[in-house]
A = this chain, B = another copy of it.
Amino acid sequence: MKRVNISNNVIRRMPRYLRKLDDLTYHGIDRISSGELGRQLGLTPSQIRQDFSCFGEFGQQGYGYNVQKLRDEIATILGMKNEFSVILIGVGNLGRALVNNFGFENHGFHLKAAFDVEPSVVGTDVGGVHVFHSSEMLDYLSRNKVDIAVLSVPRRLANNIANNIVDYGIRAIWNFTNIELDIKRDDVLIEDIHFLDSLLYLSYHLAAQAENEEN
């Protein structure tokens, strides 16, 4: 895989391409031009060709893209073939929603274990995943290679847990705690899910509309 000078904006568009290609496959479309793909995504054809050219040559002049092949290339680019292993820390409502509805395995990730302190869930299986007591977590990490931790614990616990697990080999944290983690190591990837940001994007526009209507 060629990965040269790739901006975050390009990387952030890749999952959108993936979703669109899955959608096309679902609708039985097996080939698409960069022009049509651009139209459906609100991007210019040259933007699309430029994005893909960061990683190699995927289209064919005059033919366009083979949907399945391009989907496959993008899945590889995005690490979906790497079978990264995942643990879930915190099996509250949100943790449960992720285990039951998100479909880690469908996207190429292995959700190997979950951890919580709540007696009613420790020792049970949630969505096919065993829930261990959190006190077993560091021992588990020292015996198993885990790439990604999903952090969905109460926010007061977040920083402490995050700093512990990165000392035990966790290289990426998918952070649902809504606080900015303060990790002492700078080689750890963190991706924050801030639900509020997207709700405020809606309410910004509603507020702007309301002002227009007043004027």
Number of copies: 2
- For residues 20 through 59 of chain A, which have their beta carbon under 8 Å from a beta carbon of chain B? 23
Chain B binder among A89-97, A113-121, A159-167: A89-97
Bound CA span A82–B209, Å:
12
B15 contacts A79, CB within 8 Å?
no
Contacts of A180 in B (CB 8 A): 19, 23
Indicate if A157 sits at the interface (CB-CB under 8 A). Answer: no
Indicate if A174 sits at the interface (CB-CB under 8 A). Answer: yes
Contacts of A148 in B (CB 8 A): 199, 202-203, 206
B3 contacts A208, CB within 8 Å?
yes
B203 contacts A79, CB within 8 Å?
yes
- For residues 181 through 211 of chain A, which have their beta carbon under 8 Å from a beta carbon of chain B? 189, 191, 193-211
Closest CB-CB distance, A188 to chain B, in whole Å? 10
| Max count, chain B CB within 10 A of own CB: residue among A102, A109, A203 | A203
Bound CA span A172–B202, Å:
7
Residues of chain A at the chain B interface (Cβ within 8 Å) = 1, 3, 11-12, 14-16, 18-19, 23, 77-80, 82, 84, 92-94, 96-98, 100-102, 107-109, 147-148, 171-172, 174, 180, 189, 191, 193-211
